Amino acid sequence: MLDKSTKTLACIGENLAAKYLLNKGYTLKCKNFRTKTGEIDLIMQDNQHLVFIEVKTRRYHSIDAALENINYTKRKRISQTAVQYINQNPKYGKLQTRFDIVVLIYDEYTNTFSIKHLPDAFHPVFD
């Protein structure tokens, strides 16, 4: 059993999520894209989709609890940040956009992660 801080666990989770999606044929465009409005953990391309991915890594076995943390405000920040990414990278402007969530559950007793990928998990929020 390893003692992992929350920050270390989150970093490991993001790396595992990226590796998982790369193995599924996605192409990594950016990691941890930050602006004043927010942050997007992973930005990847899946065929004709530019995919904005929120990664949640948890120690406990509840995907629902992890998903509850991606509330309206969080989705709005991700949506606004995605627009800024596209504005800064107009070459991706013709791609369709999608918002995915990847949840990783860490089992501290076996030192393993389970991964759940939720494609098209939410629609962008603007108001």
CA distance 52 to 107: 26
**Where does the pLDDT of residue 1 fall: very low under 50, low under 70, confident under 90, or very high at 90 and above?**
very low
Domains of the chain by range and CATH?
A: 6-118 (3.40.1350.10)
Which pair of tokens denotes residue 4? Answer: 């992992």
User: Is the CB of residue 57 less than 8 Å from the CB of residue 13?
Assistant: yes
Among candidates 110, 124, 100, which has minimal Cα distance to 24? 100
Give Cα separations from 116 to 34, 45, 63, 93 (angstroms): 24, 18, 8, 28
pTM, full prediction:
0.92
Check pLDDT > 90 for residue 58: no
pLDDT, tens digit, for every residue of 64-113? 777 778 899 999 999 999 999 999 999 999 999 999 999 999 888 898 99
What does the pLDDT read at residue 4?
65
User: Does residue 61 surpass a pLDDT of 70?
Assistant: no
Give the model's confidence band at 44: pLDDT under 50 very low, under 70 low, under 90 confident, else very high: very high
